[in-house]
Amino acid sequence: MILRAAIAIVALGAACAPTDFGGGSGRFPCGENVCEADQTCCGCGFCAAPGQDCPDASCEAEDAWIDDPSLPPPPCTTRSDCPASHYCARETCGAVGTCTERPSECAEEALVCGCDGRAHAGACAAAAAGTSVDASRSDCEPVTCAAMDALGEGLCGAFFGWTFDGTGCAPVTGCACTGADCGVTFAELVDCEAAYGACAP
């Protein structure tokens, strides 16, 4: 569930403010979200990474900021905190960012690593695929059109993400995920489609 939809209970224009703090053991509730023990719960149900300040943003009704440029975009910690047309733009991976519109056209540039662990043809291409640049890495592999090695095993209904199967994006479900790419499946269909859009038959 996109967090923005569940947290629009704060009055229009009310500033997000820290309400709960971590530092204990395990995870703890933050509005309708759950933060890790070392994170800070900001108002509006957003979790700030260790050492990060809570963003100075307002908690507006769902998607109102898209149509009204005077409203600030909501803070985010993952791509799924934003609508499908946007991504979570962050200065560093793991930081609190803001929902930013994905670019529709990009010129090919030097390869960069994204926070999704994949190589992209520049920062613009990374943003179009729904991720920010991971400046701390330079060793990720570029996306190819080969099928990802991630398969669901068993008849359980657990969901392990979206994977490119060589012809399109498909969900990985079952009791377990097997394969070398189980750790890099896509949490959202839109991100899989953005990364492998050029591979469509």
Of the residues 74, 106, 129, which one is the last residue of a structural domain? 74
Beta bridge partners of 178: 151
At 81, list the tokens. 């905190």
* Per-residue model confidence (pLDDT) at position 3: 37
Q: Are 30 and 41 in contact (CB under 8 A)?
A: yes
Lowest average pLDDT, out of 15-19, 156-160, 178-182, goes to: 15-19
Q: Is residue 81 part of a domain?
A: no
d(CA 125, CA 195): 9
Q: Is residue 123 part of a domain?
A: no
The pLDDT-based confidence of 152 (bands split at 50, 70, 90) is very high
The pLDDT-based confidence of 172 (bands split at 50, 70, 90) is very high
Q: Which candidate, 53, 95, 56, places its Cα nearest to that of 76?
A: 95
What mean pLDDT is predicted for residues 113-133? 86
Q: Is residue 80 part of a domain?
A: no
d(CA 25, CA 47): 16
Average pLDDT over all residues of the chain: 76
Q: Are 44 and 20 in contact (CB under 8 A)?
A: no
Flag whether pLDDT at 93 surpasses 50.
yes
Number of domains in the chain: 2
Q: Is residue 120 part of a domain?
A: no
d(CA 62, CA 4): 6
* Per-residue model confidence (pLDDT) at position 144: 77
Q: Are 141 and 119 in contact (CB under 8 A)?
A: yes
The pLDDT-based confidence of 22 (bands split at 50, 70, 90) is very low
* Per-residue model confidence (pLDDT) at position 171: 92
Lowest average pLDDT, out of 8-12, 29-33, 105-109, 113-117, goes to: 8-12
The pLDDT-based confidence of 5 (bands split at 50, 70, 90) is very low
* Per-residue model confidence (pLDDT) at position 15: 38
Q: Is residue 24 part of a domain?
A: yes
Instruction: Quote the pTM value.
Output: 0.52
Quick one: which H or E segment has residue 66? Answer: helix 64-67
The pLDDT-based confidence of 18 (bands split at 50, 70, 90) is very low
Range of the domain at 182: 151-199
d(CA 131, CA 57): 21
Lowest average pLDDT, out of 40-54, 124-138, 144-158, goes to: 40-54
* Per-residue model confidence (pLDDT) at position 139: 78
* Per-residue model confidence (pLDDT) at position 156: 84
Q: Is residue 156 part of a domain?
A: yes
d(CA 35, CA 69): 29
Of the residues 44, 74, 104, which one is the last residue of a structural domain? 74
Q: Which candidate, 180, 162, 164, 183, places its Cα nearest to that of 172?
A: 162
Of the residues 74, 104, 131, which one is the last residue of a structural domain? 74
Q: Is residue 107 part of a domain?
A: no
Q: Is residue 142 part of a domain?
A: no
